[in-house]
Amino acid sequence: MSDLCWSGITVKIDGTRFITNMTSLQNSFTILYSHKLKVLLVLMMLTVATILRLYNLPNTLIFQADQARDALIVSKIFTEGKPVFIGPVTSVGNMYLGPLYYYFMLPFLALSYPSPLGPAYGIAFLSIVTIFLFYYVGTKLLGSPAGLISATMASCSTVLIYFSRFSWNPNPVPFVSLLMVYLTYMAWKKDSTYWIGVAICFGVLLQLHYITLIMFAGACFFWLLSLHSLIKMKDRNSFKNEFISFLKITGISVFVLAISFSPLILFDARHDWVNLKAFQSIFTSEKILSNSSEFKFKDLLFGIFRESHGRTIEVLFTLFFGKVTQIQNYLLCLILGYLFYFATCRNKIPHWNGQFVVLIYLLLSIAGISAYKRSIFDHYLLFIIPMSLLFWGSVFTNFYTYLLGKVGLILFLFIFFWYNLSHLPLTSQGWTIYRVKNVTDEILTQLHPGEKYDVVLLSESGDFYALNYRYFLNASTVPPIRYDFYEPVSTLVIINENRKNKSSDMIPVYQIQVFGKPNEIKKTVHEDGPNIEIWRK
């Protein structure tokens, strides 16, 4: 204690308390500065993500057969009052998805109709929200640095940007998959009530793409861990209450999952269980999990082991860096070393439980796609991308305090940004939705009010139904007949995109051959677009 005299006033100063208060004040400023810096970084990241997802969107919009088919179906919900109970049909297995994505599209298409841009903007905004979710989930499970790293990578990932700039049922998968991983962690470590949220996410994923069925393995793994923790409880009275509560929550979760599939179940019951039979064929005639018609578990395990190397490289490297075969195997060896460190040095690793959840989901997902015998396209892997990016964030979080870790992180991010920013899908396409709309406007000028007609497209896409053109025609006062239920017509509109030198009547397309020889053909030739032929009897 010391005395300080100033203007005749004596003030007693406690030196220890003064130093303590100053240290506390300095720590407060440091925390505040750090908080503001994080907020600034997150805002910058979201700004970049927004620009990359919305810039030049109308002129780069993909609006092909799948997108036009979905828009046609959804538009009938609010224009004709026709609700739907099944979703799109899958390309493999010939199964129907649930109708959830159609109802996601509904408000956005209703706002922009007849323009099909609304659902694309809906997907873009959901992708921007996903970037923030990357930061939030990464911070909660892995720590703030890992959250920033994974979210920054997600904001500039070419594959995520590409699938955020048009409407398609697999495109919301990263958001739901990421949320499911987070809720699994919360259900395992915090409160078993979160299993209901896990079930909801899983039900949504299965209505977006059936390959997300692989996520069930991760959820099941941590459900069993939770059950094992309950069984090990020493207090038997607490065990009884907790176990009953756990079973109730599990039952509610199963019920919620069943409710989400009730429209499909009702549809299946009325149509000779077509979906169930298609699902069974996956294990037999489709040869998706086996090269033979007879499913053998031993062959499945061998196939997973054989394919896991290539699938791991695809999931962790190719999606984000392209095919850099010279260094991928070396990096894979480093990752194996990290996995050994992770398994043997649990006490040294912060946020170990969160990293464990991400790692288990990642490894089981890789095993799942390794069992798949067909070609794997990028949209199949959308569900696994969140685990891949969170994994990279956790790897560098454990080593960024070391000089070698800092250098590795800088080099890693430099290569990542260099590759992804040089492959951005932002340049205008030659054939935009506006040109499709212009062609349909010209067709409409040549049709009579109330004329009954069909539309055929001759193009490399193989979409003979001309669904993208048909969407705009259907929004007019002179819509064509239904494409999914053929009926005789007196007028046929042929849009010829790539067979300009071949006579249309020689092309073996059902609608053309059934129509027969026309009495009148009116042709319109475009220098920079398709030729239009209008046949009339």
Domain contains 31: no
327/396 same-domain check: yes
356/452 same-domain check: no
| Single-letter amino acid code for the residue at 118 | G
- For 454, list phi and psi in degrees, rounded to 5: -120, 165
DSSP structure string for 132-165? HHHHHHHHHHH-HHHHHHHHHHHHH-HHHHHTTS
Residue 92 CB-density burial (10 A; 0-12 exposed, 13-18 middle, 19+ buried):
middle
400/500 same-domain check: no
Domain that holds residue 335: 50-55+66-273+309-421
438/406 same-domain check: no
CB 369 within 8 A of CB 313: no
| Single-letter amino acid code for the residue at 241 | N
Q: Please tell me the distance from the alpha carbon of residue 41 to that of residue 455, in angstroms, as a whole number.
A: 51
Q: pLDDT tens digits for 464-492?
A: 999 999 999 999 999 999 988 888 899 99
Domain contains 5: no
Residue 401 CB-density burial (10 A; 0-12 exposed, 13-18 middle, 19+ buried):
exposed
74/209 same-domain check: yes
- The SS3 of residue 311 is helix
Overall number of domains in the chain: 2
Domain contains 42: no
* Greatest C-alpha distance within the chain: 116
Domain contains 313: yes
Q: Which residues pair with 495 in a beta bridge?
A: 457, 532
Q: Please tell me the distance from the alpha carbon of residue 69 to that of residue 491, in angstroms, as a whole number.
A: 22
pLDDT at position 21 is 54
Q: pLDDT tens digits for 497-528?
A: 875 556 666 677 888 888 888 888 888 876 66
Q: What percent helix, strand, coil does the chain show, rounded to 5? A: 65, 5, 30
Bin 493: left if φ > 0, else alpha if -120 < ψ < 50, else beta.
beta
Domain contains 60: no
Domain contains 61: no
390/526 same-domain check: no
Domain contains 450: yes
- Among the candidates 366, 391, 421, a domain finishes at 421
pLDDT at position 198 is 97
CB 102 within 8 A of CB 87: yes
Paired tokens of 22: 């100053």
Chain-centre distance for alpha carbon 94: 21
414/456 same-domain check: no
Of 69, 10, 15, 120, nearest to 432 by C-alpha is 120
406/494 same-domain check: no
399/511 same-domain check: no
pLDDT at position 404 is 81
| Single-letter amino acid code for the residue at 291 | N
327/438 same-domain check: no
Q: pLDDT tens digits for 292-340?
A: 555 566 777 777 888 888 899 999 999 998 876 667 777 788 888 888 8
pLDDT at position 237 is 73
- Among the candidates 388, 421, 454, a domain finishes at 421
437/401 same-domain check: no
Q: Please tell me the distance from the alpha carbon of residue 177 to that of residue 148, in angstroms, as a whole number.
A: 19
Of 441, 447, 451, 474, nearest to 82 by C-alpha is 474
Domain contains 317: yes
495/364 same-domain check: no
Q: Which residues of 143-170 are buried (b: 16+ CB within 10 A; e: fewer)?
A: bebbbbbbbbbbbbbbbbbbbbbbbbbb
Residues in the chain with pLDDT values less than 70: 1-34, 92-93, 236, 282-297, 324-326, 499-506, 526-528
How would you classify the pairing of strands 453-458 and 491-496? parallel
- Among the candidates 362, 388, 421, a domain finishes at 421
Kindly report the pTM of this predicted structure: 0.89
The DSSP symbol for 453 reads E
